Structure 1
């Protein structure tokens, strides 16, 4: 069973090299292309102040984050949860750069060394839609994913939207549903049915229905200038 986790972060700013930190992590799990419901979500105390422009994007104030756990407190739970999975991130270099910086502070291996693989959905989108905007909002609009509740960026919300976008980009199915069997660790049994046991009724049209149908076909033939194929085949 393939295990994929869609991950998103919010941060105090744009540069881990300049000391910006992660303040929120959202993870959405998918097993064999179905949502399992086994997700993770953390708010974090970044031990520094937010940039004003960052707060305008995510809405998480210094006051709100002050009593939240530090990354070091959740690191074990997070990395055990992610271990072995394919991690799908939109613009992966950004999030992985911040995660690597947090892990380095704890003298842990780099992020990519602790998970199964890292896939950048932004790279996938640019290959599928070259020359177009491939932000998460743009992809939601293009692929008809409902993001009406996304007034601010939120890590768990964005991870869920990314999962929906990904499944549509990879054409596996049109929407995602919670797989109760996968979430509980069980399997859903579907009984085999022999369809030969059913006799399907064939309803013949009445004379009035035949005449009405012929009238429609004749009108289509007239409008097309006599180019309808069914007349030629008849």
Structure 2
């Protein structure tokens, strides 16, 4: 009998690995979108330094719109924004919501590098995150790393209860308020707002920080931008779900 030819197996194609940008490249791309916000209050009997409140902010629209925390610009004096490249500009307060601790500023500059918006509904416990800001007002463009430690947290701040917060152990300090919390692709998933250092009855705490989910921020910031600019702004949605 004539032997039948052995079947030749069809080679299985090697899957193409999904390329993830190096986090160093992601951070380098994001840094120009993060700013330092200075609220220079003029208080009788206090020095200029004593009346100076420093926080962070993030460019959310290339036409000069910058998001920050309300508590950074509360009792606004002369507002300044310092960009990552060292440029400085006066800013006007467009709108603020103490109940969500959000505020929107505007500078008279255009073609600014706006941050990418993520989708905070996809955020998961244990997800890697990066916080960017100006801790203590002295160290701009600082980056810290951590994970998402909790979701849907509620905290009382300045007589307002803020709900739905993202909890993280990424280092966030005074001066970092208003900076972005980003995922590995450089999409903003939150705006850093609050830290817990100690509790009167539970002692000193470490690694407990909170960010306002970006989806919450969108609901305020986008209508504010549209009303101020006179142009409707479509809600920006990332093309992919984020980690």
Fold match by TM threshold 0.5: no
For this structure pair, what is the TM-score category when the shorter chain's length is used for normalisation?
under 0.3
Structure with higher helix content: 1
The answer to which structure, 1 or 2, has the higher relative contact order (CA under 8 A, 6+ apart) is 1
TM-score by length of structure 2 reads: 0.24
